[in-house]
Amino acid sequence: MAAKIRPLIAGNWKMNGLKSAGLREARNLARTMKKHGKPGCDVLVCPPATLLAPLRDAMKGSHIAIGGQDCHGNEGGAHTGDISASMLKDTGCAYVIVGHSERRADHGESSREVRAKAEAAHRAGLRAIICVGETAAERKRGQTLKVIGKQLADSLPKGSTAKNTVVAYEPVWAIGTGLTPTVEDVAEVHASIRSRLRRRFRDDGAAMQLLYGGSVKGSNAAELMAVANVNGALVGGASLTAADFWPIVETCI
């Protein structure tokens, strides 16, 4: 039997959060965590880049990690508006999300570019959270597993290990919509991802954290976290306040 995989509950604040409210929520989260003791999962918050350093300081000593929402595939240079993996590392990040469907859709990012970003994250010593997921049309056409298989093959670098890579399955149609797949559908996709990871990365593929994301909230987290091969959650809207995020973390206690 494979060893139990420690879950990861990750919050993605997206383009939300100004300093006063962001700091207040981060402090609330750190305080709540302290009160309840260290949970049985890793906890991560990925705020906008402007709040990385303030949140790092506000949550110091709390065991809550901070991460970026994206990084460039290059180390540095003439890339106005972009941020490099080593800059994130330098600010205290442990993780970076790459290939989120909003980046793939809004910025036309291909899986090849996502792989370059994940490679940059690995070089900088960050854990890359690599996102995959089908659109509603692809699911309707019965192409879900095929689409995700291709995204995985093209987005995950050769050197991916259980230590430097997390995979997040996020159906595009479930993000920010309040809709979630059935637990059977989540189980089917996660089993397929696990078997592909195992085939390609052997023991590392068997041990990689595999997150579900898309309309996760306190009311459905326990059910989703209980699905086989679900090792945590990537949470958008419900990660913005400590009051909404903590009940999701609590499912791992």
Nearer to ligand PGA, 201 or 214 (CB): 214
Residues 4/6/12/17 CA torsion (nearest 10 deg):
160
Nearer to ligand PGA, 52 or 234 (CB): 234
Which listed residue (109, 166, 237, 242) binds ligand PGA by CB under 6 A?
237
122 counts as catalytic: no
Q: Is 12 in the site for ligand PGA (CB under 6 A)?
A: yes
Alpha-carbon gap, residue 97 to 129, rounded angstroms: 5
Contacts of 184 (CB under 8 A, 6+ apart): none
Kindly indicate which of the ranges 21-29, 70-78, 156-164, 210-218 contains the residues binding ligand PGA, using the contact rule CB under 6 A. 210-218
- Helix (H), strand (E) at residue 212: strand 209-213
Q: Is 68 in the site for ligand PGA (CB under 6 A)?
A: no
Shortest distance, position 178 Cβ to ligand PGA, whole Å = 8
Tally of helices (H runs) and strands (E runs) in the chain: 10, 8
Alpha-carbon gap, residue 130 to 151, rounded angstroms: 10
Kindly indicate which of the ranges 34-42, 106-114, 155-163, 208-216 contains the residues binding ligand PGA, using the contact rule CB under 6 A. 208-216
Neighbours of 178 (CB within 10 A): 10
Nearer to ligand PGA, 139 or 201 (CB): 139
Taking every pair of C-alpha atoms in the chain, what is the biggest distance, in angstroms?
Answer: 49
Shortest distance, position 198 Cβ to ligand PGA, whole Å = 25
Q: Which of 25, 102, 119, 170 is catalytic?
A: 170
| Sign of CA pseudo-dihedral 155, 204, 221, 192 | positive
Residue listed under structure tokens 């899986």: 111
In three-state secondary structure terms, 79 is coil
100 counts as catalytic: yes
Which listed residue (215, 229, 231, 251) binds ligand PGA by CB under 6 A?
215
Nearer to ligand PGA, 183 or 206 (CB): 183
Q: Which of 25, 72, 100, 109 is catalytic?
A: 100
Neighbours of 83 (CB within 10 A): 17
Write the binding mask 149 to 188 for ligand PGA: x where contact by CB under 6 A, - elsewhere: ---------------------x----xx------------
Closest CA to 13 of 194, 245, 169, 206: 245
- Residues of the shown chain interacting with ligand PGA in the complex, contacts defined by CB under 6 A: 12, 170, 175-176, 213-216, 234-238
Active-site amino acid positions: 100, 170
